[in-house]
Structure formats: C-alpha cells, structure tokens
Amino acid sequence: MTYFISGGAKCGKSSLAQDLSVALSKGGRHYYVATMISTGSEDNDRIRRHLADREGMGFETVECFRNIMDCLKIADKNGVFLVDSVTSLIQNSLFPVEKNYEMDLAGANRCADELVEFSQTVRHAVFVSDYIYSDAERYSESTEIYRKCLADIDRRLAKTCDTVIEVSAGQPIIHKGDLCI
Amino acid sequence: MILVIGGAYQGKMDFVKDTFDITDSDVYNCDKAEIDFSNRCIYKIEEFTALCDDPIGYFETHQDEWQDSILILQDIFCGVVPMGAENRAWRQRTGRLAQYLSQEAKQVSRIFCGLEQRLK
C-alpha cells in the first residue's frame, strides 16, 4: 500500500503518517526516512521534536537527503517507508547546499523520478508533502520554480499512490482510495 | 456554468481539458480588466481580479455571456494576510468573486494534487 499525504503546516500530517506506517508494518520493519539537512539550532530543535514523537514506535531511521532509491542499499524493500518529507527532498535537490544553493533543475527532476520509482518498488510507503499553493503572494521566479517542482511531484505521487489524503486541523480528507488498513 | 478552483499548479487546466473536451483554442487567458466570454473556457480569472476593481459587478453585467462557460480560478485565499494593501484587496476581491460564482455554478470542482473534489 502506498499513501500520499499533504496539507498545511502543523496540521497533523506527520502524526497520521507515523500511525499509518506502524499499522502497515504489522510488527515488521518500518523505516523513517530522515530527509532534512540541518542548517542550525532551529532545525536541530525540529529534529529533536520529531525524534521524541517517534520514540517507542519502533522506527529504524535511514538518512536520505536527495535520491530516495539509495535507501534500498541498506533497507529492506518489503518494509514500510515513511518519507517525511517530499518537500525536503525536492528542496535539497533543487537548491543543493554544496553548490551554495544554486538552482539545479536536473537534480530536482532526478529526485522526482526516483520518488515515483521508489513508490512502485517498495511494498509499503507513506509520503508526506506540504501544501503551499493557496496564498495571494507574487513570489520570486526561483520560488515559483520550487513551488512548481513540488506540485509536479505531488501530482505524480497522487496519481501513483493507492490513497491520497489531505489533512486539515488533524482531520483526514480522503481524495482517493481508503484510509483503513 | 462550471467553476473549477484550486491552488497553484494543482492541475486545474489539465482536469478541464480531460473532462470537458477543451483544447487550447477554446481557452481565454485573462490578462486585463475585461474578459472575452466568446471562448468556452475562461482561465486565470485571478489575473482579471488583480486588474478589475469590481469583478462581481463585471460578471453581473455580462451574466448572459457565461452561463455555459467553464471558469477556472486559482484559490489564493489561504495564506498569510499579504503585507501590501494592493495584494490584500486583490485577495478579498477574488474570494468574494469565488463565493458569487460558486453560488451561480451548477458544478464546483476543487482540484487537489491533480484529483477532483466535487464541492457542488
């Protein structure tokens, strides 16, 4: 089973994704794919909060900052993969820190292609993304490219995943498939 | 009239093309304070509302012309209140127009990540 979950900030996406992943694993191996490259104390705090949230849930952490297929070098593809978040993977690929955040569109496209391949390769996956498309702001060109890249992979994953859920104030809105497992 | 709303890059146009047999030649892209309703599909209405001070009044005046149209409007209502007065007014005009149009519409579809959510 594959799930795609999106929604606004702090709406309960990650909690739902964690619960789904544990339920899907039925006691088997479940991996938390850590995607965020920390850029300082604010990020470290967030990572600590997420770690505390997951404590006792039995996740194995796999670090992956860009190309998701690399996870399968160390993890079992028959496990459950919680990918939190698609946003981070695209951001890390499109604006690589090693290249001083200079835009790398080819890198972002490769990242997106691997996400689709990954969703079709592993047994169970839960992808978490961020809905950043409904505000009245005229953004810079590079921000618009980032929004479009993320929207494109969101749509591709929504197409390929069994279930698509939007979370609002902790409540799931099912756009496709079924929540029950 | 059919109203299609949704955030940026969500696939509103692709949905309309797939569902209603619309091609590029049927589409009017809004880029000024008036709309040519002779096209079946009116796209980027949020660009029209950015330039027209009274979009509801405009639609009321031209009511006979869009009864069978497919109208596509980007949802720009959910972010932080914009700092600039102009963007604030744009956001409000667009939201009010969305309410008016959804009341008039026989069908309202919201597109989320390429998937349709039928609101009416």
Cα gap B45→B47, rounded to integer Å: 5
User: Closest approach of chain A CAs to the CA of B104, in angstroms?
Assistant: 22
Average pLDDT over residues A18-27: 95
Taking each continuous run of H as one helix and of E as one strand, the counts in chain B are 4, 6
Kindly state whether residue A161 falls inside one of the protein's structural domains.
yes
Average pLDDT over residues B82-92: 88
Percentage of the residues of chain A whose pLDDT score is greater than 90: 76
* Model pLDDT, residue A137: 84
User: Closest approach of chain A CAs to the CA of B91, in angstroms?
Assistant: 6
CATH architecture of the region B2-118: 3-Layer(aba) Sandwich (3.40)
Report angle CA A53, A79, A34 to the nearest 5 degrees. Answer: 40
Residue B17 tokens read as: 């093309």
B17: left (phi over 0), alpha (psi -120 to 50) or beta: alpha
Domain ranges of chain B: 2-118
User: Closest approach of chain B CAs to the CA of A161, in angstroms?
Assistant: 12
Kindly state whether residue A127 falls inside one of the protein's structural domains.
yes
* Model pLDDT, residue A51: 83
Q: Which chain B residue shows the shortest CA-CA distance from A158?
A: B113
Residue A124 tokens read as: 């169970």
User: Over the stretch A129-160, which tens digit does the pLDDT of each residue have?
Assistant: 999 999 888 899 999 999 999 999 999 999 99
Other Cβ atoms within 10 Å of A73 Cβ, number: 8
Average pLDDT over residues B80-97: 88
Percentage of the residues of chain A whose pLDDT score is greater than 70: 99
User: Does residue A45 register a pLDDT over 90?
Assistant: no
User: Over the stretch B104-120, which tens digit does the pLDDT of each residue have?
Assistant: 999 999 999 999 999 99
- A contacts of B82 (beta carbons < 8 Å): 135-137
Determine contact, residues B59/B71, Cβ cutoff 8 Å: no
Mean pLDDT of chain B, nearest integer: 95
The residue length of chain B stands at: 120
Chain B interface includes A166 (CB < 8 A): yes
Q: In this complex, do A134 and B8 lie within 8 Å of one another by their Cβ atoms?
A: yes
Cα gap B80→B84, rounded to integer Å: 11
User: Over the stretch B52-71, which tens digit does the pLDDT of each residue have?
Assistant: 999 999 999 999 999 999 99
**Lateral strand order in the sheet of B2-6:** B27-29, B41-43, B70-74, B2-6, B107-112, B115-118
Among A155, A163, A173, most B C-beta atoms within 10 A, so best to mutate, is A155
Q: Which residue range forms the structural domain that includes residue A40?
A: 2-176
Chain A interface includes B47 (CB < 8 A): no
Determine contact, residues A10/A62, Cβ cutoff 8 Å: no
Q: Which chain A residue shows the shortest CA-CA distance from B110?
A: A175
What CATH number is attached to the domain comprising A148?
Answer: 3.40.50.300
Determine contact, residues A92/A112, Cβ cutoff 8 Å: no
User: Closest approach of chain A CAs to the CA of B14, in angstroms?
Assistant: 11
Distances (CA, A) of A49 to A38, A44, A60, A63, B112: 13, 9, 16, 17, 29
Kindly state whether residue A146 falls inside one of the protein's structural domains.
yes
Cα gap A33→B30, rounded to integer Å: 43
User: Does residue A169 register a pLDDT over 90?
Assistant: no
Domain count, chain A: 1
Determine contact, residues B49/B59, Cβ cutoff 8 Å: no
Q: Which chain B residue shows the shortest CA-CA distance from A138?
A: B87
Average pLDDT over residues A6-18: 88
Q: In this complex, do B117 and A173 lie within 8 Å of one another by their Cβ atoms?
A: yes
Helices (H), B21-84: 45-51, 55-61
* Model pLDDT, residue A38: 84
Kindly state whether residue A181 falls inside one of the protein's structural domains.
no
- B contacts of A158 (beta carbons < 8 Å): 112-115
* Model pLDDT, residue A181: 65
Chain A interface includes B85 (CB < 8 A): no
Place of tokens 């592993």: A122
Q: Is A27 helix (H, G, I), strand (E, B) or coil?
A: coil
User: What is the separation of C-alpha A34 from the centre of its chain, rounded to a whole number of angstroms?
Assistant: 9
Q: Please determine, for the modelled complex, whether the ipTM score is greater than 0.90.
A: no
Give me the residue from A138, A152, A176 closest to B115, CB to CB. A176
Cα gap A3→B26, rounded to integer Å: 36
Cα gap A165→A177, rounded to integer Å: 9
Give me the residue from A136, A148, A164 closest to B76, CB to CB. A136
Determine contact, residues A158/A7, Cβ cutoff 8 Å: no
Higher pLDDT, A137 or A91: A91
Chain A interface includes B5 (CB < 8 A): no
Among A132, A135, A148, A166, most B C-beta atoms within 10 A, so best to mutate, is A135
**Lateral strand order in the sheet of A124-128:** A60-63, A30-34, A80-84, A124-128, A2-7, A163-168, A171-176
User: Does residue A93 register a pLDDT over 80?
Assistant: yes
